[in-house]
Structure 1
Amino acid sequence: MIAEVDQLARDTDFSGVVWIDRAGQVELSNAYGFANRAYRVPNTVDTRFGIASGSKGFTALAVFSLVGDGALALDTTARSLLGKDLPLIADDVTVEHLLTHSSGIGDYLDEEADLEITDYLMGAAHELTTTEAFLPLLDGHPTKFRAGERFGYCNGGFVVLALLAERASGVGYHDLVRERVLRPAGMTRTDFLRSDELPADAAVGYLPLDGTDRSNVFHLPVLATGDGGIHTTAADMSTFWRAFFAGDIVGPVEEVVRPRRDVPDQSRRYGLGFWLHPTTDTVMLTGYDAGASFKSTHDPQTGTTWTVVSNTSPGAWPIARALTTG
């Protein structure tokens, strides 16, 4: 397997980290390419990468922990906390609808639209440092279907979840995730990093623009919020999965990973913020954005985790596919 991964990494010019462990024993941990191409800083297995939508699962767990505390309920309506904000969100949209991508709300970042990963979609990206700052982006998008009618992947729904969690708890989204997910999980290398002041151990995200590879700093919010973008390491993802299934973050875990929606076009199912294998207990988090690609899969039956994370948009997928079919 190591030789096969190495060859595929060379063939695809992969930049990132591949990690496999079984029951806590590392079987493969390799780094490839550069974290910073301008200064020729290589990626290492300890490099921190943005994982785009991979952190939707962390948002879901922060929200679910508030449900456990009674600050929210799965049937809490968004309107009860939004007040007059975002008036196009239907009155019957609930926390559970948002967690399962079945809210039907219009999306500020609509993945069904004809968009390129290189498009500039964030407007004044440098101003997006708080969840409340997203309100103008979230507003003005008509409902796409009735709440609960079907699955429709919605980035904006998870920003709304972050907003609801803040208003229900009185704590900012970033601190909520730190206190309710990262710390109980023991994820010491995971945090919300500003894209315009990345520390030396974080990878710059790259995408092809004007015939060269450029940083993604103008393509993403300067600071991640509920729909994705936290920075983490492959090792921390293994730490996360073990803590999650041990019940160290929230309980009951079974409620989070219980299939709520079938997604046949993706050959998957969906729980509360987590992708699920169509027939087994395997759970997944994935992310794709400008200068970021990520997939981390955990099989709770064998305790096996594999994570592929890259600081380019297409980088993770060839190796992720090979690990899935291998």
Structure 2
Amino acid sequence: MTVLGDGVDALARESGFSGVVSVDRGGVPVFAEAYSLADRRHHVANTLETRFGIVSGTKGLTALTVVSLIEHGALSLSTTARSVLGRDLPLIDQRVTVEHLLGHRSGIGDYFDEDAGGEITDYQLTVPAHELSTTEAYLPVLDGYPAKFPPGERFSYCNSGYVVLALIAERVAGRPFHELVRDRVCAPADMCGTEFLRSDELPPGTATGYLPIEGVSRTNVFHLPVRGSGDGGIYSTADDISALWRVLFAGRIVSRDWGATMTRRHSDVPSKDRRYGLGFWLHASNDTVMPTGYDAGVSFRSVHDPQACLTHTVLSNTSDDAWKISRYLDQNLVPESG
């Protein structure tokens, strides 16, 4: 094992990490290891092929789906949400556009406002989790939240905005959002292990999410929608995430020009020491793309440096496990080989 691998291994043992860690350079593996259990009840181990929820990492796939529809003429950045939503969600300002939603600059009220603070496991859905199996079913969850500020005024991370984008995508395309992501993003990227799964019927090879309750192995099944939508909930593998970066910057999902537009700065976010593009978090001062996902029983972070073709990805089936190892990789990986 390399020095890097020794360090990851030691940190994983020390922290009790559960998940997968992957590092590759230009698609060539540098380090990959799986730790602990995908299913604690049945003592099923995580493997490099295990699928994990990536929660808000889904937003990048949502953005790519929407931009692919823009490229094919079904939408534009200036399309207003109201022109597609009709009478649904009447509190959304008529000036809110697809571009505002993609860049978290819409100002719409958020059903899950992460800026409000509190523990991630404290949030309670306003409808039964099992009812949220389609994007249209999210309408009662999204409704009733007043606007926070006028469209375009500033950045404010908004989960509701990405469910609205999913609604817009499926209404203009005339197909379910989950199918659009599969056909417009996952298929061209050969992401065969990436899918919107139901949490109450996870297939073999998929990690169950566990809550951070000491001495208890309680799953997250009651804390998240039974099937995700535009703001989160897709399941993926380390190999698929790596493949996504390669094909995104090769222009195989959307054109290279659109890929560059999505991964350039549209907002500075000093409070997070990051910037934001269209669907992707960005490093504060360079071209590195760094989607992150955090929810009850799930944590995910992937960091891709397109100049060095260097990627590291950490997926975990617990709420907090991804962060220590991902920060270690930030500090110990360098663009040069070796």
Q: Which amino acid is the alignment partner of residue 321 of structure 2?
A: G
Q: Distance in 1 between matches of 2:8 and 2:320?
A: 16
Q: Which residue is 1:45 aligned to?
A: 48
Q: Could you tell me which residue of structure 1 aligns to residue 59 of structure 2?
A: 56
Contact 1:47 1:202 in 2 (8 A): yes
- Where does residue 71 of structure 2 map in the other structure? 68
| Residues 120, 218 of structure 1: 8 Å contact kept | no
> TM (normalized to structure 2)?
0.95
Offset, 1:210: 8.2
Name the SS of the counterpart of 1:206 in structure 2.
Answer: coil
Which residue identity is paired with 1:82?
L
Measured after TM superposition, the shift of residue 317 of structure 1 is 0.4
Quote the Cα distance in structure 2 between the aligned partners of 1:257 and 1:206.
Answer: 32
Give the AA of the match of 1:257: T
1:116 positional shift:
1.7
Instruction: Quote the residue 2:143 is aligned against.
Output: 139
Aligned match of 1:312: 318
Query: Structure 2: how far apart are the matches of 1:139 and 1:93?
Result: 16
Which residue of the partner structure matches residue 270 of structure 1?
A: 276
Shift of residue 24 of structure 1? 1.4
Instruction: Return the letter of the residue paired with 1:126.
Output: H
> C-alpha offsets along residues 17-43 of structure 1, whole Å, 9 cap, x if unaligned?
000000111010000010000011010
How far did 1:53 drift?
0.2
Indicate the residue corresponding to 2:95 in structure 1.
Answer: 92
Deviation at 1:211, TM superposition (A): 5.3
Residue 223 of structure 1 deviates from its aligned partner by 0.7
Computed over aligned residues only, the root mean square deviation of the Cα atoms, in angstroms, reads 1.0
- Partner AA of 1:96 in structure 2: E
Q: Hey, what's the Cα distance between the residues in 2 that align with 1:282 and 1:321?
A: 14
User: Whole-Å Cα distance in 2 between the matches of residues 279 and 26 of structure 1?
Assistant: 26
Q: Which amino acid aligns with 2:99?
A: E
In the TM superposition, residue 119 of structure 1 has moved relative to its aligned partner by 2.1
With normalisation by structure 1, the TM-score equals: 0.98
Q: Could you tell me which residue of structure 1 aligns to residue 297 of structure 2?
A: 291
Residue number in structure 1 paired with 2:26: 23
Match of 2:217 in 1: 213
SS in 2 for 1:213: coil
Counterpart selection for 2:5 from 2, 8, 18: 2
Cα displacement string for residues 68-118 of structure 1 (whole angstroms, at most 9, x for unaligned residues): 011010011100011111010001000000000010000001112243222
Aligned length: 326
Counterpart Cα distance in 2 of 1:275 and 1:118: 23
SS at 1:103 equivalent: coil
Whether the 8 Å CA contact 1:45–1:234 is kept in 2: the answer is yes
Structure 2 contact 22–312 (Cα < 8 Å) conserved: yes
| Residues 155-178 of structure 1: CA deviation (Å, up to 9, x unaligned) | 010000000111111111000000
Contact 2:212 2:319 in 1 (8 A): no
Structure 2 match to 1:188: 192
Which consecutive residues of structure 1, in runs of 5 or more, have no partner in the other structure? none
